Chains A and B, each alone.
Chain A
Amino acid sequence: MSKKIGVIVFPGSNCDHDAYHAMKHVMNVETTFLWHKDSDLSDIDLLIVPGGFSYGDYLRSGAIARFSPIMNAVQVYVKSGNPVLGICNGFQILLEANLLPGAMLHNEKLRFVCKNVHIRSENNTSVFTKGLAPGSVLNVPVSHGEGNYFIEDDGLKELQDNRQIAFRYCDENGEITPESNFNGSVHSIAGITNKNGNVLGMMPHPERAMESILGSEDGITFFESVFNQLQLA
Chain B
Amino acid sequence: MYKAKVNITLRKSILDPKGKAAYQALQNLGLKKIEDVRIGKFIEIKIDASSEDEAHKLAQTACTELLSNEVMEDYQITIESI
Contacts and interface: CB of A to CB of B under 8 A. Distances in A.
Q: How large is the interface on A (under 10, 10 to 19, 20 to 34, 35 or more residues)?
A: 10 to 19
A3 to B, nearest CB: 35
Nearest to B67: A59
A103 B69 contact: yes
Interface centre among A109, A110, A150 (most CB of B within 10 A): A150
Contacts of A59: 66-67
Q: How large is the interface on B (under 10, 10 to 19, 20 to 34, 35 or more residues)?
A: 10 to 19
A137 to B, nearest CB: 28
Given A108-B15, A150-B14, A96 B21 contact: no
A44 interface: no
B67 A105 contact: no
Given A59-B66, A63-B66, A150 B17 contact: no
Interface of B: 10, 13-15, 17-18, 21, 66-67, 69, 71-72
Interface of A: 59-60, 63, 67, 95-96, 101-103, 105-110, 150-152, 184
10 contacts: A63-B69, A95-B71, A101-B71, A105-B14, A105-B72, A106-B18, A107-B17, A109-B17, A150-B72, A151-B71
Given A103-B72, A105-B10, A150-B72, 6 more contacts: A63-B69, A101-B71, A103-B69, A110-B21, A151-B71, A184-B15
